[in-house]
Amino acid sequence: MIDKINLARDYAYIGTVSHYIGNLDDALENYVSALSLDAEINDKINMIRDCISISLLRYEMGSHYDALALLFEAKRLLEDYTDNADHRDALNEEIDIMIFQLQK
């Protein structure tokens, strides 16, 4: 299990670096791999983070509808996240702001 956790984080980090340097297709592939592994191990908080990362990327790639759908998926996942109420509330606020910006 620890290998999947580490591998998921590695994919997410590689996705972030790829996104930063402008390799959007590679970033998307790595973010999706991270999300898939996080879903497999039921890591809700990182699934939420993955959805947010993919959403930002999809927006940048011109897929605004996909970006918005991913943010709503992150909000749905957030409903089940009960480990840290303050963290949940901060993420919820961040997602709400992003949804508002996308709907302009």
Neighbouring residues of 42: CB distance < 8 A, sequence distance ≥ 6: none
Q: Specify whether the CB–CB gap between 80 and 49 falls below 8 A.
A: no
In angstroms, rounded to a whole number, what is the distance separating the alpha carbons of residues 11 and 22?
Answer: 16
DSSP single-letter state for residue 52: H
pLDDT in tens, 49-96: 999 999 999 999 999 999 999 999 999 999 988 888 888 899 999 999
- What's the pLDDT score for residue 92? 92
Helices 44-60 and 2-20, packing angle to 10 deg: 20
What are the chain's domains?
Answer: 2-102 (1.25.40.10)
- The answer to whether residues 11 and 30 touch, using CB atoms and an 8 Å cutoff, is yes
